[in-house]
Amino acid sequence: IFVRDHFVSLDTVIGSSMAPTLSPDAHETGRRDWIVIQRNTRNGQAIKRGDVVTLWKPHRPEEISIKRVIGVEGDVVFPRRGYAVDEGKGRVVVPRGHVWVEGDNWRKSYDSCDFGPVSLGLVDGRAVRV
């Protein structure tokens, strides 16, 4: 348990928000990808644009989600949909200590476009292998 909570774990991908990158055929075949999660990413250590991360859902803190980091603090992102944006300009500046995350399958993803930037304190780990 100590190793899983603090260093590395093996998790299965449930849902289609990261398809086609992860579990692209799960809804048809039932086959799900397994990912190795590096857990020692507390406070954003080593988190960068393009990383696939696990995070505690801001709207359901008892559940974990997996998404891709689109922006890190200071980045300007242009949400495809949803999130109330800065002065109606269609852009958001990612605040200090936050990341912007989105699912690869934006049609099936509940992500920063819906709930805004995510505190680095909610990032649980980074996928290092599939």
Active-site residue list: 17, 67
> 42: Cβ–Cβ under 8 A, 6 or more apart, which residues?
none
* DSSP run (H or E) holding 70: strand 64-72
CA distance 98 to 17: 21
The pairing of beta strand 123-129 with beta strand 34-38:
antiparallel
Q: Rounded to 10 degrees, what is the CA torsion of 45, 47, 48, 54?
A: -170
Both tokens of 15, joined, read: 């849902």
Inter-residue contact 117 to 25 (CB < 8 Å): no
